[in-house]
Structure 1
Amino acid sequence: MKRILTTLLLLAALAVAQQPAHAQARLQIRGADVSSLAKSEAFGGVYRDARGRRGDALRILAQAGLNYIRLKVWVNPADGYNTKTQLLALARRAKAQGMKLMVDFHYSDTWADPGKQFKPAAWESLTLDQLSQAVYDHTFDVLDALRRQGTTADMVQVGNEINGGLLWPDGSNSTWPNTAQLLNAGYDAVKRVSSATKVVLHLANGGDNGLYRWWFDNAGANGIRYDVIGLSYYPYWHGTLEAFQANINDVATRYGKPVAVVETAYPFTTADDDGWPNIITAAEPYPGYRATPQGQAALLAKVGDIVRAVPNGLGLGLFIWEATWTGVKGNGWDPADPSSGNGWENQALFDYGDRALPAMGVLGHL
């Protein structure tokens, strides 16, 4: 009997050793940005699970194994979406599914990214000190509303893809003390609401180690406070997988901070679904990974495996960007132009029949 038990234990250990890495240690964050979901639903968006059954998109994501959502916040957008109103409603739904919440503050009325960090119209005439107070007040107001309804944010981005700073020109990192003052105002607001909430500083170009060293060296020199380093990594824009791996490993060990890919994605088709040209149209946007459901799943799994392998357990996980942004008429990219379309629907986690794609299940079990 003892020999049989020993043999069984050895076989079990061998089976565990032979399992893929993601079967041994799941990522802490298996997430999706679903910022466009509220508007999609308002304009008739439908979501189905892998078997074709219609349901709540957040429930479908959670049942597939995802455990985090990310939602952006604009200050006063032209279409009234991506504000505190939608955030509160989606946060309640997500928390009811057992999911955690990351809030992504753009500090703008529209998209903020490396090429544009425009102030909200209401903040245009403010001095630097007044702008810092506006950042604090806006951040506190949104996060305190979440706390008061019992859906406290678990992570918060103070700024979105802030390679060149935020709230230009005042917060441009051509003047690092100004950048620091604004970012620390956001940090202080987050921590006043909840000391347990993690503050993320987020850059794009996840394969550019020179950028990350320059940025976070200056952040340290100027006393910018944060808990997590966030990266965008789109393989068709941001360098090779090897460059991404080298960078994420380096920044985690160099700064001793956890790292998370807060934006990534990959197409599952080259076809268009809404008559608006897709942003990524190549049949093989990254070598070895075709724009197919299988290629999408494989590429996202590879990114997840790279994050899992970050030294010292500092790789937290990843978020697929705009997983629910399907080709729904009226849910376009420009909040000021109702006729605009969506160039991203071929990178969602739902196909053109509104059904969950294989990548969803892969991501949920990374």
Structure 2
Amino acid sequence: MKRRTALTAAGAGVFAVAAAAAVPALAEAVDRGGPSAGRFVRGADVSGLLKNEDYGAVYRKANGRTGDAVKILADSGVNTLRAKVWVDPADGYNDKEHVVELGKRAERAGMDLMVDFHYSDAWADPGKQHKPAAWADLPFADLKTAVYEHTADVLGALRRAGVKPTLVQVGNETNGGLLWPDGRWDQLEQMAALLAAGCDAVHDTAPHAKAVLHLAEGGDNGAFTWFFDNAVANGVPFDAIGASYYPYWHGPLSGLEANLNDLAGRYGKPLYVVETAYPFTTEDSDGFANIIADAEPVAGYPASPESQVHWLEAVAEVVRNVPDGLGRGVVYWEPTWTGVPGAGWDPADPASGNGWENQALFDFTGRPLPALRTLGRL
């Protein structure tokens, strides 16, 4: 999720390597499965759903009757749930047990599961990649082992529950690396070793899934090529590329289009926009300030249900038009995270609120917005 960051010129120098020779070989990698052939991922990140439900969230069908949020998503055409994993979160949510629960609900609804490893006890994004407390003092060799074992442990629990994820993110928005400082962008070989450990665990434990590396700033081609050229050069065995693209933060749609098209040609890997969203209102339902409160977050597109529909359609069109059929799907970020007291953003602060409810795909009464049906028909 969100948060812009810039890597220094010195860092770019450290990261800049002659990776061109390695790129063609990457395109020849074995296809490790993933979503069914020809199935465009129409996804929803529902990482906050279980906590929301526990604190009283109500979800309604179009006719106003209450229902199960996962079934409402599935009935709308959503075919994939995305769920993040934290190592030891303060509130106990988004851990292994909760991901397994979401995975079983996805399975019962006939949906795929995408697992998003943060390798942290709380939010990981370009501005922060904090180690879990339990890993804080590990020597680097043991840190690699911890990444492998944590990844394998969660995926093994899903397997035992009868859930087969189709996509697994090794890190979340890792523009500047992961598990700082050991795997930060200025520790290139160590960063690659940590990413490789996670990918190896995916391939060993869930061989039917694709290991995805995920960056923010979906319109920044320089950031993506800088990262992935070096991932290739350092032998990280990833299978797919994920991008966050929020139009009010990440530049014009043309930038996303140019970036994805270039990545397809360079690496020959499936591409997913794994996070996107847009507000349907400027109003607030829980007394906690909205992250996006502008009446017109992107010029010409006021915060409205119609703009939500527009941006989902526009992003999906870009993805579907990626050359060689390598644009494989779009995931909406937290469409079920409605404003419920107690289910706020900070796992360590029960009084924290939700700054995202004006970007959910359910309105303040729990009814689905038009963009939910759009997501299910992308």
Q: TM-score, normalised by structure 1?
A: 0.92
The equivalent of 1:44 in structure 2 is: 56
Matched, 1:329 2:329: no
Give the whole-Å Cα distance in 2 for the aligned partners of 1:194 and 1:233. 27
> How far has the Cα of 1:27 moved from its partner?
6.0
Counterpart selection for 2:136 from 120, 124, 129:
124
Give the whole-Å Cα distance in 1 for the aligned partners of 2:211 and 2:139. 25
Matched, 1:270 2:312: no
Counterpart selection for 1:71 from 83, 107, 123:
83
Q: What SS does the aligned partner of 2:173 have?
A: coil
Runs of 4+ in 1 over 3 A off after TM superposition: none
> How far has the Cα of 1:206 moved from its partner?
0.3
> How far has the Cα of 1:322 moved from its partner?
0.6
Give the whole-Å Cα distance in 2 for the aligned partners of 1:88 and 1:194. 14
Counterpart selection for 1:114 from 126, 131, 140:
126
Matched, 1:246 2:258: yes
RMSD over equivalenced CA pairs, Å: 1.1
The equivalent of 1:154 in structure 2 is: 166
Counterpart selection for 2:99 from 87, 91, 109:
87
- The AA in structure 1 aligned to 2:98 is Q
- The AA in structure 2 aligned to 1:274 is D
> How far has the Cα of 1:229 moved from its partner?
0.4
Give the whole-Å Cα distance in 2 for the aligned partners of 1:269 and 1:169. 39
- The AA in structure 1 aligned to 2:317 is D
Q: How does 1:1-366 map to 2 (within 5 A)?
A: 28-366=40-378
The equivalent of 2:18 in structure 1 is: none
Give the whole-Å Cα distance in 2 for the aligned partners of 1:252 and 1:284. 32
- Tell me how many residue pairs correspond in the alignment: 342
> How far has the Cα of 1:220 moved from its partner?
1.1
Runs (5+) with no aligned partner, structure 2: 1-37
Q: What SS does the aligned partner of 1:144 have?
A: helix
> How far has the Cα of 1:210 moved from its partner?
0.7
Give the whole-Å Cα distance in 1 for the aligned partners of 2:74 and 2:337. 17
CA deviation profile, 1:315-334 (whole Å, cap 9, x unmatched): 01110001110000000000
Q: What SS does the aligned partner of 1:316 have?
A: strand
Q: What SS does the aligned partner of 1:101 have?
A: strand
CA deviation profile, 1:167-212 (whole Å, cap 9, x unmatched): 0000112121101111111111111112121000000000001101
CA deviation profile, 1:114-162 (whole Å, cap 9, x unmatched): 0000000000010110000000110000000000110021110000000
Q: What SS does the aligned partner of 2:177 have?
A: coil
> How far has the Cα of 1:266 moved from its partner?
0.3
Indicate conservation of the 8 Å contact 1:236/1:285, yes or no: yes
Runs (5+) with no aligned partner, structure 1: 1-25
Give the whole-Å Cα distance in 2 for the aligned partners of 1:248 and 1:327. 33
Give the whole-Å Cα distance in 1 for the aligned partners of 2:357 and 2:133. 30
- The AA in structure 2 aligned to 1:69 is L
Q: TM-score, normalised by structure 2?
A: 0.89
Identity of aligned residues (%): 61
Give the whole-Å Cα distance in 2 for the aligned partners of 1:299 and 1:180. 34
Indicate conservation of the 8 Å contact 2:164/2:208, yes or no: no
Give the whole-Å Cα distance in 2 for the aligned partners of 1:221 and 1:331. 42
Q: What SS does the aligned partner of 2:189 have?
A: helix
Give the whole-Å Cα distance in 2 for the aligned partners of 1:287 and 1:318. 23
Indicate conservation of the 8 Å contact 1:156/1:190, yes or no: yes
